[in-house]
A = this chain, B = another copy of it.
Amino acid sequence: MKYPNNLNKKYQNPLTYKNRGMDLESELNESNTYYLEIDKALIYKKPTPIGVADVSYSQKGKVIERGFFKEPSTLDYNGLYRGKYIEYEAKVTKNRTSFPLANIHPHQIKHVRSVLRHDGIVFLIIKINEMVYLLKGTDFIEYIDSHERKSIEYEFIKEKGYMIKYGYNPTLDYLELVDEIYFKEK
């Protein structure tokens, strides 16, 4: 297949909805870049922690010759919105009936509890059955503390979660829901 060279990929289909097959991480990164551009929020994906085992030096600087991905103890995205600390994790599951908790490390669950205790905004963004939901940290923890199951039932996510709509810009307007959930009383 051929693409014309002069078409910037980013702007190939400016008026259609974004590619639904795009992965959740790209959709959120795009949304966060948009929020940044319109100066609505400062939210970044944290780089994956790396253990560097070997380096060399080139003219351009240090080069990693061998490294390992480490397990994160916090969530993937954090930042600042309307003067508040905000943090979340984004996960996709192909499972149709539940979200497997193996997707979230025990350290991360502990971290969700900590952010709640320190009065930050914290939630999960879960893509399941091609729908994207925001699940509040409090609901997530409540589920974990009251169920023995190793997964969160889809019914629970549908009932307690907030569906994030796809749009043009931002691709996923999750801050609209954050306004509704966390800033309503103000």
Contacts and interface: CB of A to CB of B under 8 A. Distances in A.
Interface of A: 39, 41-42, 44, 46-50, 60-69, 74, 78-85, 87, 111, 114-115, 117-120
A44 B69 CA distance: 17
Given A47-B48, A83-B85, 15 more contacts: A41-B118, A42-B115, A50-B50, A50-B67, A60-B68, A61-B68, A63-B66, A63-B67, A64-B64, A64-B67, A64-B69, A67-B67, A78-B78, A80-B118, A82-B118
Contacts of A117: 39
A69 B80 contact: no
Contacts of A66: 63-65
Contacts of A50: 47-48, 50, 64, 67
A48 B50 CA distance: 8
A48 B55 CA distance: 14
A47 B47 contact: yes
B118 A81 contact: yes
Nearest to A41: B118
B46 A83 contact: no
Nearest to A122: B80
Contacts of A111: 42
Given A46-B46, A83-B118, A69 B65 contact: no
Contacts of A68: 60-61, 63-64
A183 to B, nearest CB: 13
Rank and list the top 9 A-B pairs by shortest CB-CB distance, nearest first.
A83-B119, A64-B67, A47-B49, A85-B85, A80-B85, A47-B47, A80-B120, A80-B118, A50-B50
A65 B65 contact: yes
Contacts of A79: 85
